[in-house]
Homo-oligomer: A and B are copies of this chain.
Amino acid sequence: MISRPPRPRERGIPEATVARLPVYLRALQSLQDRGTLTVSSEDLASAAGVNSAKLRKDLSHLGSYGTRGVGYEVQYLVYQISRELGLTQDWAVAIVGIGNLGRALANYGGFGTRGFRIAALLDADPEMVGQSVASLDVRHIDNLEDVVRSKGVSIGVITTPAASAQGVATRFVEAGVSSILNFAPVVLNVPDGVDVRKVDLSIELQILAFHAQRRADGDGRAAERAGLELT
């Protein structure tokens, strides 16, 4: 028995690569706006803030889209990355929790440009419901299932207080949404097959503080080396 047909090309793009593709895409679109037709890995890498070998290896996972001696055709690469990321289709997004942050996201224009469309805003507060934010009516959270179905929502964004986030996530999942972006500072528990990403400003600040403290320590670390370590 043949162990396996040579597996033409297992569709396995490393997670680290996936996370960088959007960065490349943005750099490429900026080049495109400036009318650039082709770009070398060196130049694109520099625009994206990464090592050029890394960039080439990343792109090689999508296929062999460069021309040796020349570089990459900007427009073609934009298309290939967009397709790989799924940006050639339209994604309907629902935001739950229309407070400070939810409103900022709703009013932000930068999403529509890349295949993401804010399709619904939901909140639990009766005061909030019915208000118009960014040309959308805020609906009551009880309509979540209806809204998801009728608008074809496939990505859910959670900007409620931490205490409500798990409940909202569960309702999203039950309604069939399996991609969630969470801004609330809690670990969400979801079934396998559901993809949760979190954005946590507080964590970012704490990481910055750690490094800042280390830099500061370094300056006066002579004392520590001299013997203060014997606590």
Identify the A interface with B (CB < 8 A): 8-9, 11, 18-19, 21-23, 25-27, 47-49, 84-87, 89, 91, 93, 100-101, 103-105, 107-108, 110-111, 114-116, 154-155, 178-181, 185, 187, 189, 193, 195, 197, 199-215, 229
Contact = CB atoms under 8 A, between A and B. Distances in A.
Given A22-B203, A86-B213, A155-B209, 17 more contacts: A22-B207, A85-B210, A85-B213, A87-B209, A89-B213, A91-B209, A91-B212, A108-B201, A111-B202, A114-B206, A115-B209, A155-B205, A155-B208, A179-B212, A181-B201, A195-B211, A197-B208
A163 B197 CA distance: 27
Contacts of A180: 208
Nearest to A106: B100
B104 A202 contact: no
Contacts of A185: 26, 110
A169 to B, nearest CB: 13
Top 6 A-B pairs ranked by shortest CB distance?
A86-B213, A100-B104, A49-B187, A179-B208, A22-B206, A104-B104
Contacts of A213: 85-86, 89
B197 A207 contact: yes
A134 to B, nearest CB: 10
Given A107-B100, A185-B26, A87 B212 contact: no
Contacts of A155: 205, 208-209, 212
B86 A47 contact: no
29 contacts: A22-B200, A22-B202, A22-B207, A25-B206, A47-B187, A85-B206, A85-B213, A86-B210, A87-B206, A91-B205, A91-B212, A93-B205, A100-B107, A100-B108, A101-B104, A103-B104, A110-B185, A110-B202, A111-B202, A111-B205, A114-B202, A115-B209, A155-B208, A178-B215, A179-B208, A181-B201, A181-B204, A195-B208, A199-B204
